[in-house]
Amino acid sequence: MPGDDVLTWTATQLAEAVRQREIASRELLDLALDRIERINPKLNAVVTLDVERAAAEAAAADEVTAHGESTGPLHGLPMTVKDALETAGLRSTGGATELTDHVPVVDAPAVARLRAAGAIVFGKTNVPRWSGDLQTYNEIFGTTNNPWDLSRIPGGSSGGSAAAVATGLTSVELGTDIAGSVRIPAHCCGVFALKTTYGIVPQRGYLDRVGGGVSDTDINVLGPIARGADDLDLLLGVVAGPVDENAAGWRLDLPAPKSTNLADYRIGVWFDEPSVPLGAEVRAVARWTSDVLADAGARVEEAHPGVAFEEQVTLFKEALGAAASPGMDPAVGEVVAGSHLNWLHALDRRARLRREWADWFDGYDLLLCPVMPLEAFPHNQEGDFIERTIDIDGVDHPYHSLISWTGLIGIMGLPSAVPPIGSTATTGMPVGLQVVAPWYHDREAIVAAGLLADACAAGYRVPPLD
């Protein structure tokens, strides 16, 4: 059997190795399970396993491979799924005690597509309660740690997903993102992620409350977390497309990227915002990245849509509160959700802002902006999301301001890929940036993210945790 260093290959490489019979699906699964047994106690990233069924499915996949056949682009690839998504026959909790023993009878549509493409779903990864934090901890499974520094957060809400991908506990992951929940963990753990264009991946089966998953949640999307940009495209091709009831009437046809050369891109950079200033170390990496892009021949300008940052982020937080309100205590939820009239006015404001972004993208291919103002910080579970503060270079800021940059993009429904592009000088923690493209240009964001990581001589690195 090969060594478990293969588990840090990209999913694309692993899938090809299985197809070429260089490694068996069952071998990959056994290596992953052994690695989880050794490393996961330090991380607490993988919280539920489905070993018996996964072993049978992997053996069946190897039989198919032996006959020179394949079940799909993910044939025989063992992977985990965020615990906020329903998986048939496997405990799916959303990080909430109310669903401690919840075992769905059907898969979320996106999970079903993974299985149909040949993936072996063998486990679930940790989340905060109802995916409602940028840290990852809950009363059922406890706290997930960052693989680069166990005293720090892995990000959230897909923190278990990113920590598992970073350490090779899984080949690739599927997460959710309503306020940065795939982008922030990618930034914190040094992996790639894609927040997809709103609506292109079915989000049914998303557990954000008791009885949830039967309708679509505003702002929320599903997206992959991976060790390479190619993996983001691989999973996007599997999970994107209409839900069954819409398939008779529409098809998804995402545009191909315009280029594979950074010199062909006109890129706006937006790093300065007085209300949410970047920490000095993250700012230094961001500025250096801008210089790298210019040196690679890209047309880089200090430019962004003509929208007021605080106005758009305020709109995001209002919409986020309304979207999350069904999972709150009824008395609180009624207040947070607001009136239907206010909601309609907010939709008008969003439409106006969307036109500003559309006009701006007529002249620019991409926007580069931060994921979070600082790198992964030490665990901070005192108080709640609203009460906490966070120190950025000696100044206290509201904890909820940390989702401002991701919310700025999320409220517009734009695709955003996050590549690892460097690390902080003092702590050595990973840093990622958002590569934002126009609506439905998800593949543009993916390709540009890969090019940017390469130009920075960065990308995925194996954390020193073993």
Provide the pairing of β-strand 173-177 with 221-226. antiparallel
For residue 157, the one-letter residue type is S
Q: Which helix (H) or strand (E) holds 439?
A: none
Average pLDDT in the 109-113 region? 98
Tell me: cis bond preceding 157? Omega within 30 of 0 counts: yes
Contact 109, 205 (CB under 8 A): yes
C-alpha to C-alpha distance for 274 and 289, rounded to whole angstroms: 21
CA distances from 431 to 165, 288, 434 (A): 16, 12, 10
Look up residue 412 and give its two tokens. Answer: 């517009």
User: Could you say which DSSP state residue 452 is in?
Assistant: H
Taking the CA of residue 32 as centre, how many other CA atoms within 13 Å lie in the half-sphere pointing to its CB?
A: 34
Range 187-194 average pLDDT:
98
Segment 314-322 shows an average pLDDT of: 94
Q: What is the pLDDT of residues 325-381, one digit of tens each?
A: 888 888 778 878 888 899 899 999 999 999 999 999 999 999 999 999 999 999 999
Helices (H), 385-441: 404-410
Question: For residues 147 and 154, is the Cβ–Cβ distance under 8 A?
Answer: yes
Q: What is the mean pLDDT of the chain?
A: 96
**Amino acid found at 414:** L
Residues in the chain: 466
pLDDT over threshold 80, residue 2: no
Domains of the chain: 4-246 (3.90.1300.10), 262-455 (3.90.1300.10)
At residue 337, the pLDDT reads 85
**Burial environment of residue 69 by CB neighbours within 10 A (0 to 12, 13 to 18, 19 or more):** exposed
Average pLDDT of the residues in 411-438: 98
Residue 355's pLDDT is 98
Q: What tokens were used for 156? A: 């959230």
Round to whole Å and give the CA distance between 236 and 193: 11
> Mean of the pLDDT values across residues 197-212?
96
| pLDDT (tens digit per residue) in 209-236 | 999 999 999 999 999 999 999 999 999 9
- Catalytic residue positions? 82, 157, 181
User: Which residues fall within 8 angstroms of residue 302, CB to CB, at 6 or more apart?
Assistant: 268, 269, 270, 272
Residue 139: what residue type? E
State residue 1's pLDDT score: 57
With a pLDDT cut of 90, the percent of the chain lying above it is 94
Report DSSP state, residue 263.
Answer: G
pTM above 0.95, yes or no: yes
Q: Left (φ > 0), alpha (ψ -120 to 50) or beta: where does 199 sit?
A: left
Residue with tokens 């950074």: 262
Kindly state the percentage of the chain with pLDDT values over 70. 100
